[in-house]
């Protein structure tokens, strides 16, 4: 979309070299705005943004959001944080710092600039939920001292900070609780279930089903999720969220594995491995609020989204599941 200088926003995307961040940047640039991408490349990759370097409306700064950042922008999407359990448990103290110190710094920046700021929160704030499907008014069931706590409690504290800056400083905030999202540019070795299963299926190796495979997740395709984030950012000032963004169609991990086998035509067999500690048994968003306030609901079915995700992994070099095991062990 062509824009005049006056109607063009300069948008900061932290975590912009990651899976969701890089798709969000593509969308913001396509809408005619300017983007400043800030990322320390912990789980993100320059490869996700290399197609943007010749775009005069795109800038990149390699920076860790746990340190202060003084830049001039009109709007902030705060996505910086590893999202995969394997990655966020790799250096749990840094994960908490990224969520908490990162939020303080980005909120401080938004306060100085008097600009709108959106937080990429997560369904993990509900922990291993006892309410199903999850509604935004559910306070969650979270272990504060387990291996997932660095992420869950870090994200919960970030939400607290967003609402305190809103109440204390009148900041315009938006909080999205994102449920499992998948698609092209997921990191090949980040250990999330969709990428693991596809890589294993393509390599003809066993599909690693943790536990009995009856635990559930609800998978949202990336383009749907990005549309939800942009609608939330553009929603009226009095709508802060938190709002669930995710696809409400729920699958067991075994069903997901079977879909991946079908889509790849792979002869891989399932192998059962121990269920990680505190792994949520079920997860499904209630998206009534997003429908009512944002006019948003996902459009892409899992089998269609898997098709393009499998194509992505087929077309790009990918690590073998042996490399994945190496990542798990390290």
Q: Which residues are catalytic?
A: 151
Cα–Cα distance measured from residue 80 to residue 103, given in angstroms and rounded to the nearest whole number: 9
Q: According to the binding rule CB under 6 A, does residue 192 interact with ligand UDP?
A: yes
Within 10 angstroms of residue 277's Cβ, the number of other Cβ atoms is: 9
* Contact mark string toward ligand UDP, 264..283, x via CB under 6 A: -----------xx--x----
Q: Give 156's strand partners.
A: none
How far is it, in rounded angstroms, from Cα 180 to Cα 169? 32
Whether the Cβ atoms of residue 176 and residue 245 lie closer than 8 Å to each other: yes
For residue 215, state whether it binds ligand NAD (rule: CB under 6 A): no
Query: Which of 36, 43, 200, 217 is in the footprint of ligand NAD by CB under 6 A?
Result: 43
Contact status: 253 vs ligand UDP (CB under 6 A): yes
- 38 makes contact with ligand UDP (CB under 6 A): no
Q: Is 98 in the site for ligand NAD (CB under 6 A)?
A: yes
Taking the complex as a whole, how short is the minimal distance between the CB of residue 7 and ligand NAD, in angstroms? Answer: 28
Question: d(Cα 326, Cα 222) in Å, to the nearest integer?
Answer: 27
Nearer to ligand UDP, 109 or 175 (CB): 109
| Positions in 47-76 near ligand NAD (CB under 6 A) | 64-66
In sequence order, what are the beta bridge partners of 223? none
Closer residue to ligand UDP (CB): 27 or 327 = 327
Output the DSSP codes for 10-73: EEEEETTTSHHHHHHHHHHHHTT-EEEEEE--SS--GGGTGGGTT-TTEEEEE--TTS------
CB of 51 to ligand UDP, least distance (A): 26
Where does this chain bind ligand NAD (CB under 6 A)? 14-15, 17-21, 39-44, 64-66, 79-83, 98, 102, 120, 122, 178, 180-181, 187
């Amino acid at each position: 979309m062509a824009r005049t200088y006056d109607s063009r926003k300069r948008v900061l995307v932290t975590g912009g070299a990651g899976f969701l961040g890089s798709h969000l940047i593509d969308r913001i640039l396509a809408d005619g705005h300017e983007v400043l991408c800030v990322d320390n490349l912990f789980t993100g990759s320059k490869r996700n943004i290399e197609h943007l370097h010749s775009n005069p409306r795109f800038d990149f700064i390699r920076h860790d959001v746990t340190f202060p950042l003084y830049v001039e922008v009109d709007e902030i999407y705060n996505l910086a944080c590893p999202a995969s359990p394997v990655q966020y448990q790799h250096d749990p103290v840094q994960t908490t710092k990224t969520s908490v110190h990162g939020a303080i710094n980005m909120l401080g920046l938004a306060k100085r600039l008097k600009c709108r700021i959106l937080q990429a929160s997560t369904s993990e704030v509900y922990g291993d939920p006892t309410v199903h499907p999850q509604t935004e008014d559910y306070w969650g069931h979270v272990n504060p001292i387990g291996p997932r706590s660095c992420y869950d409690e870090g994200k919960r504290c970030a939400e607290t900070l967003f609402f305190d800056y809103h109440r204390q400083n009148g900041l315009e905030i938006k909080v999205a609780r994102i449920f499992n999202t998948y698609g092209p540019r997921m990191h090949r070795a980040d250990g999330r279930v969709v990428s693991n299963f596809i890589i294993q299926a393509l390599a003809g190796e066993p599909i690693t089903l943790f536990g009995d495979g009856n635990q559930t997740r609800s998978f949202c395709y990336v383009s749907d999720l990005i549309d939800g984030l942009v609608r939330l950012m553009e929603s009226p000032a009095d709508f802060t969220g938190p709002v669930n963004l995710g696809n409400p169609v729920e699958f067991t991990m075994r069903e997901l594995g079977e879909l991946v086998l079908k889509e790849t035509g792979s002869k891989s067999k399932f192998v059962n491995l121990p269920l990680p500690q505190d792994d949520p048994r079920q997860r499904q968003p209630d998206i009534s609020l997003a429908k009512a306030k944002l006019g948003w609901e996902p459009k892409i079915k899992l089998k269609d989204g898997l098709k393009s995700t499998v194509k992505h992994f087929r077309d790009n070099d990918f690590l073998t599941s042996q490399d994945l095991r190496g990542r798990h062990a390290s």
